[in-house]
Amino acid sequence: MRPQAENSSVVFGCAVFKAEILALKERYWPDLDIRFLNSMLHMVPDELGSRLDKLIQKEVSSDHNILLVYGDCCPQMETLTEHPGVIRVRGNNCCDLLLGRQMYRRLSHEGAFFLFPEWAGRWQHIFRVELGLNAANAASLMKDMHKKLVYLDTGFFPVPVEDLEACSLYCQLPWEVLAVSLEPLRECIQTAFDQFKR
């Protein structure tokens, strides 16, 4: 029989909200074992799935519950949760997890392109290297799909105004800052933990 308490679980999470999850851990789950994977693995979804699968395979025989704090970020995500004792938080992507479903949908319908604090400082690498976009095609593509850049300010880092202004110029989209509560993220993690107790 698998242990039920949070401190008997191993969490694998995306480092895109490492600071935020560690703050929640300190307040709500101080004994929790949390391990983070590089957020840039989102750019290579198959590798993300492979890495998670290997990590889960190592833990699956340890009698620990395994919680994945990820959206539907790789093709293997559904298969990964077929292992006994493995649960993933509910959410389509990291923005959905952080904002909560209602706010995420509203902002998405408004044409928002979300920037996490962890990614805002390396937007140039993401656009130019990972996505292969120059200023001309970045602006064309982004304006076709989005109407604004929304920086998700969780309060752990200074707002990177210069980076946001440069990204705005590159994409030809206005930017804004949204102060974000950690409550939706806390709630989705706790809800997943509660499933272990059933």
The series of mean pLDDT values per 10 residues for the chain, 198 residues long, is: 56 95 96 94 93 90 87 91 90 94 97 94 89 87 94 96 95 96 96 84
User: Considering the domain boundaries, does residue 165 fall inside one?
Assistant: yes
Task: Quickly tell me which residue has 């509560």 as its tokens.
Answer: 181
Same domain, 166 and 192: no
Q: How many structural domains are present in the chain?
A: 2
Q: What is the pLDDT of residues 62-105, one digit of tens each?
A: 778 899 999 999 999 989 998 888 999 999 999 999 999 999 99
User: Considering the domain boundaries, does residue 107 fall inside one?
Assistant: yes
Boundaries of domain holding 159: 97-179
In whole angstroms, give the CA distance from residue 8 to residue 63. Answer: 9
Same domain, 161 and 192: no
Q: Sheet holding 9-14: strands in order across?
A: 33-37, 9-14, 65-69, 86-88
Same domain, 110 and 170: yes
User: Considering the domain boundaries, does residue 1 fall inside one?
Assistant: no
Same domain, 81 and 136: no
